[in-house]
Homo-oligomer: A and B are copies of this chain.
Amino acid sequence: VNRLFEPGGTTPAMAEAVSDAAWVRAMLRFEGALATVHAQAGVVPAAVAEEIVAACTGLDDVVDVDAIGSEAVIHGSPVVPLVDALRRVVSADAAGFVHLDATSQDTMDTAMMLIARDALDLLVADLSSLAEQCADLAAKHRDTRMLGRTLLQPALPITFGCKAAGWLAGIIEARRRLALLRADRLAVQLGGPVGTLGGAPAGRRLVAGLATQLGLADPQLGWQTERSRVGELGAALALAAGAAAKIALDVILLSQGEVGEVSEGVAGRSSAMPHKRNPARSVQARAAFTATLAQSGVLLGAVAGEHERAAGAWQAEWPALTQACLACAGAVARTREALDGLQVDVDRMASNLAALLPADAPRDVTAAQRSVDAALEVFRAAG
């Protein structure tokens, strides 16, 4: 992660969750769990499995990420050097049982799902906080009349609470989608060299055991070549970032000098104009959405790969998912900050409405107020 301008595009927690250290840890968790389930199946001696698990835990902190990264260039993935490193730190007996039955893709795919799980947990929590903010605004401003605008033109009166309820609806939906993927679609992968291992009963049991060990779903079928869950993740991340960016865009538009209905709690400074109050967080949220969207295309595109393992599309998934998680977190975080302490100028809302609504236009905002109630009800029901 670039440290100069990328902090604006992510959060420290997400940067940690998809860091090299997190990836290494996730890969080693796979290798440890694999030994464990092999021991449960009686294929690996229990003591050996314990040794491997302990080594995996210990290796976490000492493994030379740069060395592995360099070797990864040679082999096309970091699995070969990491497994080599693991074999070096265990006894000769245990070395032969390390990575048993597995192929590089099993390690990477399962690690990717562990990474995705932690990332989604962060995002679901962040979206919950953002939803709370929207809900609070919706409740507080349920009756605050303001201009509704379509195609950026004055339309009819709404309330600011109704606008916030619309934001809330988007965040609820984004959270629902990520939570659903988190629960159903983050599955272990163990297929062996050509992806078939899980087909046979012994393999099925290993897969089921792995799922239990790692707290991931047991996929009905191996997904070595069925990448749609990764594409779904990409799309859901883009939609979550977009739900945040929609709020950010509205905040930017309402913050315009000529509109003046809201301003970010802590405005950004200009290097040239002391009087400026920039909606800096919202601006960054929009940029982060753009970045997320770009990576979602990579992840959706990876679905069509060659034969039993793709020659390029699969390898493109790792950085794309990493970047998508980073950027999505940034979009959500910056939007939260934009709403945190948001200055709402209800007088300005009233005066803009008075100034821009034709005399004969309908004035009633009952439907808008009821929309707030409906959205809050859905939010509370969603828990």
CB atoms of A370 and B199 under 8 A apart = yes
Known A-B contacts A74-B268, A155-B273, A276-B153; A192 and B367 likewise in contact (beta carbons under 8 Å): yes
Task: Rank and list the top 3 A-B pairs by shortest CB-CB distance, nearest first.
Answer: A199-B371, A286-B312, A242-B303
Known A-B contacts A228-B170, A231-B238, A378-B221; A319 and B148 likewise in contact (beta carbons under 8 Å): no
Q: List 24 A-B contacts (CB under 8 A).
A: A1-B2, A2-B23, A102-B271, A103-B150, A105-B150, A148-B307, A151-B310, A151-B311, A153-B256, A153-B277, A153-B278, A155-B276, A166-B226, A193-B270, A196-B367, A222-B371, A228-B239, A242-B304, A252-B311, A253-B306, A275-B358, A284-B312, A289-B312, A290-B301
CB atoms of A307 and B150 under 8 A apart = yes
CB atoms of A238 and B300 under 8 A apart = yes
CB atoms of A9 and B239 under 8 A apart = no
Task: Please name all residues of chain B whose beta carbon is closer than 8 Å to the beta carbon of A158 when the two chains form the complex.
Answer: 194, 196, 308
Which of A40-48, A76-84, A125-133, A339-347 forms part of the interface with chain B?
A76-84
Shortest C-beta distance, A224 to chain B (Å), equals 8
Task: Please name all residues of chain B whose beta carbon is closer than 8 Å to the beta carbon of A213 when the two chains form the complex.
Answer: none
A266 sits at the interface (CB 8 A):
yes
**Interchain CA distance A228-B24 in the complex, whole Å:** 34
A282 sits at the interface (CB 8 A):
yes
Interface bracket on A: 35 or more
CB atoms of A75 and B280 under 8 A apart = yes
Known A-B contacts A3-B65, A151-B309, A308-B149; A291 and B298 likewise in contact (beta carbons under 8 Å): yes
**Interchain CA distance A107-B270 in the complex, whole Å:** 12
**Interchain CA distance A356-B352 in the complex, whole Å:** 15
A33 sits at the interface (CB 8 A):
no
**Interchain CA distance A4-B322 in the complex, whole Å:** 12
Shortest C-beta distance, A273 to chain B (Å), equals 5
Task: Please name all residues of chain B whose beta carbon is closer than 8 Å to the beta carbon of A88 when the two chains form the complex.
Answer: none
A136 sits at the interface (CB 8 A):
no
